Structure 1
Amino acid sequence: MSMLQIDTSKPALVTGATGYVAGWIVRRLLEEGVTVHAAVRDPGDKTKTWHLDEMAASLPGTLRYFKADLLENGSYDLAMDGCGIVFHTASPFKLDVRDPQAELVDAALLGTRNVLDSVQRSDSVTRVVLTSSCAAIYGDNADLALTARGVFTENDWNTSSSLHHMPYSYSKTVAEREAWSISRQATRWRLVVVNPSLVVGPGTHPRATSESFNLVRQLGDGTMKAGAPALPFGVVDVRDLAEAHLRAAYLPEAQGRYIISGQASSLLGLAAALAGRFGGYPLPRRALPKWLVWLAGPMTDRTVTRKLVARNVGLPWKADNGKSVAQLGMTYRPLDVSIQDMFQQMIDSGQLPSLKP
């Protein structure tokens, strides 16, 4: 742990508090003795909040729920009242969508605008930490060829995604650009943005859900037994990402964007990191030929387009996390720890079958 000085005199608001990443942010804040204002769609739905209640019962901080909706103007005003820090984590993360404008872009863009409008009306908020994504930095691995040094940095912006190609990445880009636009009019508060790569690791809820869990489930349930596409990407542990949020919030010098990524990996890299401990599962052991993925991918999965395959499979991914290390003091867990903890939780909660000896 760093010598991070946490100001516990004012509450901190976490939007989308029942989410995968948000759960660990809430936990870290409660550990530090902060009063957490948890903004959720339905505070009365204990199936979504019981794990946070259990956490709060054993930790020094205090947890208070507030009803809020990304698309309802002003619905965050009450939750934000008296808060010094706002963590805006709420944003849809799904890949299989029918209407990308409504399901992804509107919620991400209008939600960000709605939360920051409340910040503008607040007289107590001094910093907003936005959970963006490396998806706002690049759209496809092919974009690496356009970078200044052959590596993605915080200076890069995704210009290759659209409503029709990588719409999730497009939604994150549009929302982050809007946040920076609004923050330029601010005098009382500062925006700091974290841009994580693929988030892995256990959830605070034993049956946590996100696209990350869907992906890891497919590694273990035999879906990719015949092989996996050679698809490189960055990976970060959810617990490290939560720590990065706290540092972005409470370190006085934190500013701008931060790539939060532990290392570069791939589908086969994740499988290899699981193989030592979970070798009995039907993990992919080889890369599928790119031509086969290009040919068959779109037929087996609606989200896999030929353009996606052409611009990503077999092409390298490389990002520089040096700013997060130098300015936030970040250290990152090894991949095998993150992915094995996650896989074990999925077995324990019944999301993957248990292989008894």
Structure 2
Amino acid sequence: MDGKGKVVCVTGASGFIASWLVKLLLARGYTVHATVRSLADPKKTEHLLALDGAKERLSLYEASLAEDGSFDSAVNGCICVFHTASPVQFIVDDPQAQLIDPAVKGTLNVLKSASKVPSLKRVVFTSSISAVVVGAKGPVFGDTVDETWFSDPLVCQQKNLWYHASKTMAENAAVKFSQENGLDLVSINPGFAIGPILQPTLSTSSEGFLNLIECGKELSLDGVYRFVDVRDVAMAHILAFENPKANGRYCVVGNVIHSSVIMKIVDKLYPSLDHSKRSKDGKSLEPLIYNVSRVKVESLGLEFTPMEVSIKDTIESLKEKKLLSF
């Protein structure tokens, strides 16, 4: 679709996924209203202002998830709001304050602003596969997880999976508010995003990938990663807006893969990367693998990036930013 003349909003635009979303929207001709937490912080703004088309069609707005009405000016006049802003932390001291309140109340804050805009056609909400796979019964060998799977906030909390709880509760709140207020909401549920980094600071997932290949330090408790290329996640958001038939939620996971397989790919691509050899000595029992269905999101026209390409591009990006050397 040609985005010429169409105005959209991206919340939390300085983040890993959101930066790519802004880049791809600008490339399609859209005019983008992008919100960041602080206009005074060059780490939040400079990489966005440097994107092709930014000078002509990108406007930055300061907005806070905690402040009522904070997003009113950014969403005004838009035909779509892409709500990506939400904290990503896996170790927290105060889960309510650090994760749940910003995710849930922040989402409702954005949706309240969106509900005031007559021109708005759709809200595309960035949820997570974390809001899919942590139910009373988790996925086991042979299962195919799809959009009919839902995480249970209580199970997440019992397992101290506070990020998962926050994303689940935020998605539930978004669906409820949208139904009650006549908003057309589509949710995107991506896995663990890897790929080239646009922003100057490491995202949680990029840092987790770096620690895995450099130190053999697992971010996943079971050594299983639901990987997806960040560019595919950004494109899924755009397709979910552009296709009028898009509805409900979309799982966006390229591969469910064990860390030992990741290391084999890394060793094949970069035999000189001595760090990755540390993982070869481990004798951990590989857990059973399941699949995440691509069928629904591929029906929108999404083509997944091959896993080896994603891993290679991630490592090249980390090298370019001098975060990984070999």
Q: Label 1:81 to 1:230 Cα distance change in 2 as closer, same or farther (>3 A).
A: closer
Per the alignment, residue 235 of structure 2 pairs with: 243
Q: Label 1:346 to 1:103 Cα distance change in 2 as closer, same or farther (>3 A).
A: same
| Aligned counterpart in structure 2 of residue 155 of structure 1, from 148, 151, 164 | 148
* Secondary structure at 1:257 match in 2: strand
Question: Shift in Å at residue 230 of structure 1?
Answer: 5.4
Per the alignment, residue 55 of structure 1 pairs with: 51
| Aligned counterpart in structure 1 of residue 316 of structure 2, from 339, 344, 354 | 344
Question: Shift in Å at residue 337 of structure 1?
Answer: 0.7
Q: In the aligned structure 1, how far is the partner of 2:17 from the partner of 2:160?
A: 25
Per the alignment, residue 121 of structure 2 pairs with: 126
1:108 aligns with 2:80: no
Per the alignment, residue 319 of structure 1 pairs with: 292
Letter aligned with residue 18 of structure 1: S
1:221 aligns with 2:214: yes
Letter aligned with residue 346 of structure 1: L
Q: In the aligned structure 1, how far is the partner of 2:114 from the partner of 2:281?
A: 49
Question: Shift in Å at residue 126 of structure 1?
Answer: 1.2
| Aligned counterpart in structure 1 of residue 307 of structure 2, from 329, 335, 338 | 335
Per the alignment, residue 178 of structure 1 pairs with: 173
Q: In the aligned structure 2, how far is the partner of 1:238 from the partner of 1:141?
A: 29
Structure 1: state its 5+ residue gaps: 291-312
Per the alignment, residue 21 of structure 1 pairs with: 17
* Secondary structure at 1:144 match in 2: coil
* Secondary structure at 2:5 match in 1: coil
Letter aligned with residue 40 of structure 1: V
Question: Shift in Å at residue 277 of structure 1?
Answer: 2.3
Q: Deviations over 1:48-91 (max 9, x none)?
A: 211111114x5696100111000101000001110010000001
2:9–2:81 contact (8 Å) kept in structure 1: yes
2:3–2:31 contact (8 Å) kept in structure 1: no
Paired residues for 1:26-45 under 5 Å: 26-45=22-41
Kindly report the root-mean-square deviation, in angstroms, between the aligned alpha carbons of the 2 structures. 2.3
Question: Shift in Å at residue 177 of structure 1?
Answer: 0.3
Letter aligned with residue 274 of structure 1: V
Q: In the aligned structure 2, how far is the partner of 1:36 from the partner of 1:333?
A: 25
Q: In the aligned structure 1, how far is the partner of 2:188 from the partner of 2:217?
A: 31
Q: Percent identity?
A: 33
Q: In the aligned structure 2, how far is the partner of 1:142 from the partner of 1:278?
A: 38
- Relative to the length of structure 2, the TM-score reads 0.91
Paired residues for 1:207-286 under 5 Å: 207-224=200-217, 231-281=223-273, 282-283=275-276, 284-285=279-280
* Secondary structure at 1:143 match in 2: coil
Q: Label 1:32 to 1:60 Cα distance change in 2 as closer, same or farther (>3 A).
A: farther
* Secondary structure at 2:165 match in 1: helix
Q: In the aligned structure 2, how far is the partner of 1:271 from the partner of 1:141?
A: 31
Letter aligned with residue 216 of structure 1: F
2:256–2:289 contact (8 Å) kept in structure 1: no
336-345 vs 215-224, greater mean Cα deviation: 215-224
- Relative to the length of structure 1, the TM-score reads 0.84
* Secondary structure at 2:9 match in 1: strand
Q: In the aligned structure 2, how far is the partner of 1:126 from the partner of 1:217?
A: 39
2:124–2:185 contact (8 Å) kept in structure 1: yes
Q: Which runs of 4+ in 1 moved over 6 A?
A: none
Q: In the aligned structure 1, how far is the partner of 2:73 from the partner of 2:54?
A: 24
1:229–1:267 contact (8 Å) kept in structure 2: no
Q: In the aligned structure 1, how far is the partner of 2:136 from the partner of 2:228?
A: 17
Q: In the aligned structure 2, how far is the partner of 1:186 from the partner of 1:98?
A: 34
Per the alignment, residue 191 of structure 2 pairs with: 197
2:191–2:228 contact (8 Å) kept in structure 1: yes
Per the alignment, residue 84 of structure 1 pairs with: 79
| Aligned counterpart in structure 2 of residue 169 of structure 1, from 144, 160, 164 | 164
Question: Shift in Å at residue 114 of structure 1?
Answer: 0.4
Letter aligned with residue 305 of structure 2: R
Letter aligned with residue 329 of structure 1: G
Q: In the aligned structure 2, how far is the partner of 1:182 from the partner of 1:230?
A: 35
